[in-house]
Structure 1
Amino acid sequence: MIDFIPLADYTPFFHYSILILVLVAFWQCNNGIILHKNIVSMNAVWGVLFTLLLILYMGLRPVSGVFGDTTNYANGFWGIQRSSEPFTWVWEDDWLFYNLYAWFAKYSDIHTFFLLCAFIYVGSLWLAMQRIFKSYYYIPLLVIFGMFTFWNYGVNGIRNGMGASVFILAMTYINRLPIAILLSIIATGFHKSCTLMAGAAIAAWFIKNSYLYLLAWIGCVGVSYAAGMRIQSYLATIGIFGDDDRFSGYLTGSNMVGETVQMSMVFRWDFLIYSAMGVFVGYYFIFRRNFRDEYYHWLYNTFLITNAFWVLVIRSAYSNRFAQISWFIMPVILIYPFMKQRFWQNHEKILGAALLVFYAFTFYFNIVKG
């Protein structure tokens, strides 16, 4: 366990480290060297080292309420350890996570378990970016690390983070369907919300018209603004996720009872603006710059579907947990065209400016607002 860093500084240390990396990348872009082979190779090596350090830093954190649900996971873990019941495999919601959780509680310790979670969460994203961008993966990975909810889903919404990361990895195996399907099953085993990601990816694969998805997203914004609470009430009553009442609890606000942090169930313009950045970037490159890349179109359409679902329930308690389903895809939407094609004579400088814009929301929420 890493206990020599004060708890109050533990999370800020991560955020300031990412800020420094973003500024260094901006400097490389502004000097026109970011895509030079020697810089790409150097960044690729650093990307491996930083990923390993991050896994250790995140996975070996102290058990503290500073890290949100870390304490809840730990208390449940220790409860299983104290129980005299032997480990048995069970099939229930988030079955893979809970079986790993119970097995480690019986045969290992909480820090090893959290280290495994961090390895799956961060390592899957590293491998996914390496598969998509090859040796140029560092900047896309940095954009992911710079997502304003990235740290939270490594130490707080752990199941969601693990599942979404594995599903992003599954999306890189689209030409090897058995592996993609296996990884998708693993992702849904970590968190049920990944079924929405899988369903969106399947729909986007067969219906490829990005213009229709874009219009649908805009329509969902209007409908949600006008009648969002009625939509949420309806979804809460039909049991869209079967016997799991967590979803209904978020929609009605009942899940906030007893929670330390109480969320306002209002139309989240801030989160909508953040999501709109991904919508606009995809629109710009696909429709304005005529970027013809079938894989990118598929990712963009999947993002629009999942984000449109969140827009419909934007007033729900902890709505960022639904937005996160699409936000995991958004960093790839933002950076993919920049890394695959030159669009401007001063492409590197515009890439650097884009990195700062992409990071601005994170800088405000995690560093300025704290």
Structure 2
Amino acid sequence: MFLQITGYMTLIGLTLYLGLRPVSGRYFVDMATYYNYFQNYSLGAHVTSSKDVVFHYFMKFSSHFMTAHGFFLLMDIIYIYPLYLFSKKYFKQYWYYSFLVLIVSFSFYSYGTNGIRNGAATSLFVLGLCFPENKIKTGICFITAALFHKSLTLPIGAYLLTLMYNNPKTYLIAWLAAIPVSLVAGSVFVSLFSSLGFDDRLAGYLTGQGNLDVPVYTGFRWDFIFYSSFAVFAGWYFIIKKGFHDTFYFKILNIYLICNAFWILVIRAPFSNRFAYLSWFLMGIVIMYPILKQPLFKNHQLFISKIITVYFLFTFLMYFVYYN
């Protein structure tokens, strides 16, 4: 009962805290851009953007009957509530453990306040994973996610690939192989992917010509690979060492490995963190799923609490020590 009450208080409190934040381009950067779009739509402006047009029509539709603050609250409901639904569906009475790990993940706050369209799109993808028995609902969620942000075509493509081949050992080897390949020929992949017909914004992320708000870091990001390896190690450990077998978990892990391997190949791109997030949003699920589905350790509850504590501390140190 304590976990349930605490979980619902966290769900409601966090949604209101993020959704009712003040409009600020200084602290939340892209929020100011969305605010200007919303205000223009509320005054009757037409949708002129040709990129992620469904999101813009959704914003324009919302501007007819709610304020900008109401819209940002709605976006954070779309961002946070699917994480609760996923946790509730797969982990039942232990849903709060999963939900807690997801909201203390490294990129959670940034994509709830700054890159809100990308964050909402990834959560719609997670929502699609809640209906493995209903391909129509899954398809609707995935298509909506891609229409909100085109970058979601990568995890959607990875999902489709796992329907054809779902052996995690192969994808683990491929992830490991991507590191030396990127070290040797990373610039080749950056040039290749930037010339394959991506939209201008996505190509801008790869070439460093995008009008973005974040500092530009280039080079081989060993720190990001170290962070990404947590989920890779967890998947390897639970499947190979502990013998955990769950077809759905294999699928989640393989989607993570495919998307993260793609990011490793373009890791030298100035804004490769945008691609890293296309796998990172699944990291909490990859780490927590096996230990919440099956008692794999002695003092299992204590082990879960240790994992959550370490996961949170890493996020805390990354934000306030490493990047500060």
8 Å CA contact retained: 1:125, 1:166:
no
Partner residue in 1 for 2:267: 314
Partner residue in 2 for 1:62: 22
The alpha-carbon deviation at position 162 of structure 1 amounts to 0.4
Alignment of 1:259-338 (within 5 A): 259=212, 261-338=214-291
Q: Does 1:160 align with 2:160?
A: no
8 Å CA contact retained: 1:216, 1:308:
yes
The alpha-carbon deviation at position 118 of structure 1 amounts to 0.5
The alpha-carbon deviation at position 187 of structure 1 amounts to 1.2
Match of 2:318, as an amino acid? F
Unaligned runs of 5+ in 1: 1-40
Measured in 2, the distance between the counterparts of 1:322 and 1:109 equals 32
Alignment of 1:338-349 (within 5 A): 338-349=291-302
Partner residue in 1 for 2:177: 219
The alpha-carbon deviation at position 167 of structure 1 amounts to 0.6
Partner residue in 1 for 2:160: 202
Alignment of 1:1-370 (within 5 A): 41-64=1-24, 65-82=26-43, 84-85=44-45, 92-239=50-197, 241=198, 244-256=199-211, 259=212, 261-369=214-322, 370=324
Measured in 2, the distance between the counterparts of 1:260 and 1:353 equals 35
* Moved beyond 6 Å, runs of 4+: none
Measured in 1, the distance between the counterparts of 2:312 and 2:292 equals 17
Pick closer, same or farther for the CA change 1:366–1:350 going to 2, 3 Å.
Answer: same
The alpha-carbon deviation at position 356 of structure 1 amounts to 2.4
The alpha-carbon deviation at position 191 of structure 1 amounts to 1.1
Q: Work out the percentage of aligned pairs sharing the same amino acid.
A: 38
Instruction: Give the 3-state SS of the residue equivalent to 2:98 in structure 1.
Output: helix
The alpha-carbon deviation at position 228 of structure 1 amounts to 0.9
8 Å CA contact retained: 2:85, 2:130:
no
Instruction: Give the 3-state SS of the residue equivalent to 1:267 in structure 2.
Output: coil
8 Å CA contact retained: 1:274, 1:361:
no
Unaligned runs of 5+ in 2: none
Instruction: Give the 3-state SS of the residue equivalent to 2:6 in structure 1.
Output: helix
Q: Which digits, 9 at most, give the CA deviation of each residue in 1:208-259, with x for residues without a partner?
A: 11111011111111111111112101211222x3xx1111111111115xx5
Instruction: Give the 3-state SS of the residue equivalent to 1:254 in structure 2.
Output: coil
Instruction: Give the 3-state SS of the residue equivalent to 1:249 in structure 2.
Output: helix
The alpha-carbon deviation at position 268 of structure 1 amounts to 1.1
Instruction: Give the 3-state SS of the residue equivalent to 1:344 in structure 2.
Output: coil
Instruction: Give the 3-state SS of the residue equivalent to 1:193 in structure 2.
Output: helix
Measured in 1, the distance between the counterparts of 2:65 and 2:297 equals 56
Match of 2:246, as an amino acid? D
8 Å CA contact retained: 1:228, 1:314:
yes
Instruction: Give the 3-state SS of the residue equivalent to 1:137 in structure 2.
Output: helix
Instruction: Give the 3-state SS of the residue equivalent to 1:129 in structure 2.
Output: helix
8 Å CA contact retained: 2:206, 2:271:
no
Instruction: Give the 3-state SS of the residue equivalent to 1:264 in structure 2.
Output: coil
Instruction: Normalising by structure 2, report the TM-score.
Output: 0.94
Instruction: Normalising by structure 1, report the TM-score.
Output: 0.83
Match of 1:262, as an amino acid? P
Instruction: Give the 3-state SS of the residue equivalent to 1:255 in structure 2.
Output: coil
Match of 1:121, as an amino acid? Y
Pick closer, same or farther for the CA change 1:231–1:269 going to 2, 3 Å.
Answer: same
Measured in 2, the distance between the counterparts of 1:140 and 1:208 equals 23
Q: Which digits, 9 at most, give the CA deviation of each residue in 1:43-99, with x for residues without a partner?
A: 1222122111111111111011211211111122223334x44x67x8943233111
Measured in 1, the distance between the counterparts of 2:151 and 2:214 equals 22
